A and B are shown apart, each in its own frame.
Chain A
């Protein structure tokens, strides 16, 4: 019984030795801690971009919502549906119904050029022509300022994200579409969904402005229940009058975001991995100097009968403590710097802008701290072994 306790008390006293010595080595300790904090900040920061983008996409796809596009179209941009098709789709079994009619919105999707506030250069902003049901199909759309557009009138409402990221979309200003001027009459929120990056108007207005005749590009529907999807899809794809593909809204948005999230995640992990390797060298350096500064102390302890295992464990503990300090401050820094940071980027599938907020999720914070611990472990291991292996007599002679 005395063995383990004795061993533990050895570990405690050697670790205490190391930790109390930190103020004397504050230069190299600070370098290692800041190095690890930097790695964690960059990793968490970069990955929070991808997480935020994914979150915006996920907020857009309710489980009981679906989108219908022309068969073979990989985004709304290149899809096309006739009035006849959209009617068949809206009347299909499985589509939720309200006293005002089925919850199906036949829509048009185009882009217009507007200057981005942050850079001042022109970007492609999505402009969507919608039907009345859109407000209940694209998540929970609420007017937060002004009013909604009047059917048939040349008026637009803008999403919160669009109003924030792109210039000239304040209520009361006008949007220039070709030679037409469309007044902005309201701002809407959609629970963080991608609809918030868009400008909306009445579908027939957009048809006229873009010479689209009586055609649409997509139909968004809300189903009776998430389970009704398969039956709805089968009805659509087996109907000989239709040439369409049906996707759950969540799947559709996931497919739209793959390019951006793959790019950010691959590059972010690559950069963080390289930085982590650099930080391991920094940690090794610090721990080696920590051990070499204490050569005599450690040798004295060993001469007094302290075990080499206790020395190894305590050096590792010191290294991990430093790494955790760095990791936690890096994760905290990333949270304060990046969480909720608003940005807009291009969705490569539709060439249009999507506004979103960076999201530093708990998983990312944990990931950061785990990475820091790993750096501390690796950085502590070799110096710990060296400390334990030192021949006692030779080390003491340095006195």
Chain B
């Protein structure tokens, strides 16, 4: 640390150049934050999938319904401790652009299945009392300024009621929060008993979209999934059972290979920054050949000279990276840049470490060649240049 002032004054030798290099590193890491947030927003569900939950859907595709009577049969399968179901409602609030998910659920077993949904006990009680009651996530409630007691009309694109109309009215009885930061708090959940009774007969009555089952031992997931599928084999509605994580992952992969796309953009950005920064450092080392010669002449070892240059490049990279990550974090906190297409848009804290690691690597790589150059400098030759 004794040499810190030396490194610092080297950086300040050409202030403009240092500031510009620093700024391009800052921009690179702001971009890194955005790409992390985008990647996470598109694939985030995977990390919060419960290891002890399986999803059971119709074998042909998710749009086909399963009989509600399957619930009792699933519950009897050894290793299954809890069964609940959801159904895609496809409701529109005022405008199709205001998209958020809604599903009818059986409140008690649903809340037990998803402990990440945090609902005040008195709101839960109100939900159990109110037949047309619905609970909604904090994010959607804030988006539309809904309060408890509000009556919300939703136009379902799928389900008609007994009277032939498609506008369903729900009363907001609770607003839930997420236990974890990445819990999706955009959906609205309402009661299945109300839904099933009110929907027009002859079209889906007694049927549900998909089941979620909880298993006692996550290690036996594959085995239990097979048992479930075997139970309904050769029936009119065969099932496909898979761990929740695999289900979400398959869903995400339908969009495309997001990890690959973000990684290639990141690669392009880092390659560019590497060039810019590496060039700056080597330029400044070249300008200092004489001084480095003097340092060596007064007894600095090769290792010390190497370390001096490497520390300089790392200092620049880490400084720029930290500022960039800071700005990126606060910019991404402003929310989803697309309006409402990415409900879980935020900078994942885990990627902060990854970003800092990236700074160090950037500093080491950009500094390495100039540092080796400086180390190999012959004193006599270098001094001749003064």
Contact = CB atoms under 8 A, between A and B. Distances in A.
A119 B251 CA distance: 12
A300 interface: no
A58 to B, nearest CB: 21
B17 A289 contact: yes
Given A123-B254, A285-B280, A112 B61 contact: yes
Given A111-B61, A119-B257, A288-B17, A278 B31 contact: yes
Contacts of A32: 276
Interface residues of A, number: 57
A128 interface: no
B159 to A, nearest CB: 9
Interface in A50-77: 72-75, 77
A27 B34 contact: no
Interface in A212-247: none
B288 to A, nearest CB: 15
Interface string B270-305: 011101101110110000000000000000000000
Nearest to A379: B20
Contacts of A344: 256
B328 to A, nearest CB: 9
Contacts of A27: 279, 282-283
Contact of A177 (B24, B60, B269): B60
Given A42-B268, A73-B157, A282-B272, A123 B337 contact: no
B238 interface: yes
Contacts of A41: 268
A178 B268 contact: no
B80 interface: no
A124 B268 contact: no
A123 B269 CA distance: 31
Contacts of B12: none
B34 A270 contact: yes
Contact of B27 (A30, A72, A274): A274
Contacts of B166: 72
Interface string B1-41: 00000000000000011001101100110110011001000
A76 to B, nearest CB: 11
A285 B21 contact: yes
Nearest to B33: A274
A266 interface: yes
Contacts of B337: 266-267, 270
Interface residues of B, number: 54
B341 to A, nearest CB: 5
Nearest to A270: B337
B157 A74 contact: yes
A118 interface: yes
B265 A259 contact: no
A396 interface: no
Given A78-B157, A346-B255, A288 B16 contact: yes
Contacts of B61: 110-113, 124
A272 to B, nearest CB: 10
Given A35-B272, A74-B92, A281-B23, A271 B265 contact: yes
B31 A271 contact: yes
Contacts of A266: 337-338
Contacts, number: 145
| Most chain B beta-carbon contacts within 10 A, residue among A275, A281, A343, A345 | A281
Given A27-B279, A38-B268, A41-B268, A281 B27 contact: yes
B86 interface: no
Given A73-B157, A353-B254, A281 B24 contact: yes
Given A263-B341, A266-B337, A278 B272 contact: yes
Interface in B70-84: none
B263 interface: no
A78 B338 CA distance: 26
A121 interface: yes
Nearest to B271: A38
A34 B272 contact: yes
A259 to B, nearest CB: 6
B62 A343 contact: no
A116 interface: yes
B275 A31 contact: yes
A257 to B, nearest CB: 13
Contact of B35 (A118, A271, A278): A271
A349 B194 CA distance: 27
B90 interface: yes
Nearest to B342: A263
Interface string B234-249: 1000101000000001
Contacts of B27: 274-275, 277-278, 281
A178 B59 contact: yes
B157 A72 contact: yes
A150 interface: no
Nearest to B27: A278
Interface string A12-36: 0000000000000001101110110
Contacts of B157: 72-75, 78
B181 interface: no
A93 to B, nearest CB: 28
27 contacts: A27-B279, A27-B283, A28-B279, A30-B279, A31-B279, A35-B272, A38-B272, A41-B268, A42-B268, A46-B265, A72-B166, A74-B157, A78-B90, A78-B158, A113-B61, A116-B253, A122-B250, A262-B339, A274-B34, A275-B272, A278-B272, A279-B272, A281-B20, A281-B23, A289-B17, A344-B256, A353-B254
Given A111-B62, A285-B20, A346-B254, 15 more contacts: A73-B157, A75-B157, A77-B63, A78-B90, A78-B158, A110-B61, A124-B62, A179-B234, A263-B341, A275-B27, A275-B272, A281-B276, A282-B24, A285-B24, A346-B256
Q: Which 5 A-B pairs have the closest CB atoms?
A: A278-B27, A281-B24, A346-B254, A31-B275, A285-B20
